Amino acid sequence: MIKIAPSILSADFSKLGEDIKDLERYGADLVHIDIMDGMFVPNISFGIPIIKSIRNLTKLPFDVHLMIEEPARYIEDFVKAGADIITIHYEADRHIDRTINYIKSFGVKAGIALNPATPVENIKHLMPNLDMVLIMTVNPGFGGQKYIQYCSEKIKEVKELSNKFNKDLMIQVDGGIGKDNIKAVVDCGANVIVAGSAAFKDGMIEQNIQDLRGEF
């Protein structure tokens, strides 16, 4: 099953609660929450108080993507705020194996994100212990960017490793994905699609999610 994970970074923050409820109403599978610290990426988004404030508005799993330096410092806080999946960047953590195990010790799912130029080979030995790998198909930090084509090969590489070491792995892609390329991304092996602009464009959440699903 292919899952759609709309990123609330593209939501209308003047009515965020309503948008969150609409995601569940109109068939999203996850709520993707991008946390940026202005250090690991050149932008600042939002943090733990926002997650706490929306947690009781939906039963959808919260897919929390930490684009922050030294993420281990905040894992417990994000779990308490309501995270169901926590993804950290390979490039942001010196002790990635230890942090993945720390995340899983709280009973939530753990993922690793890879920036576009980071080789998939770097996480080969971690694959059996992961719940998700997130392939960034744009450089992280801003919404609305164009899909980087060479990332399609990286998705295929992760799929091959998944077939060998972890058949239940969620293979997530994030960045520049819409109606025009979602099928190609799924054909490469992705099974969780982050959609920002494509999900929230023009406030037409129901139609946008239907349009995305209609392509695969």
214 annotated among ligand-binding-site residues: no
pLDDT at 178: 94
pLDDT at 145: 82
The pLDDT tens digits of the residues spanning 142-159 come to: 777 899 999 999 999 999
Homologous superfamily assigned to 3-213: Aldolase class I (3.20.20.70)
162 annotated among ligand-binding-site residues: no
32 annotated among ligand-binding-site residues: yes
78 annotated among ligand-binding-site residues: no
pLDDT at 65: 98
Structure tokens at 193: 């699609």
Residue numbers in the chain where pLDDT is lower than 50: none
13 annotated among ligand-binding-site residues: no
Contact 32, 8 (CB under 8 A): yes
pLDDT at 142: 73
For the chain, give the DSSP string: --EEEEBGGGS-GGGHHHHHHHHHHTT-S-EEEEEEBSSSSS-B---HHHHHHHGGG--SPEEEEEESSSGGGGHHHHHHHT-SEEEEEGGG-TTHHHHHHHHHTTTSEEEEEE-TTS-GGGGGGGGGG-SEEEEESS-TT-SSPPPPTTHHHHHHHHHHHHHHH-TT-EEEEESS--TTTHHHHHHHT--EEEESHHHHGGG-HHHHHHHHHTT-
- Which active-site residues does the annotation give? 34, 174
Residue located via tokens 């450089």: 139
Q: What is the pTM of this model?
A: 0.96
pLDDT at 141: 78
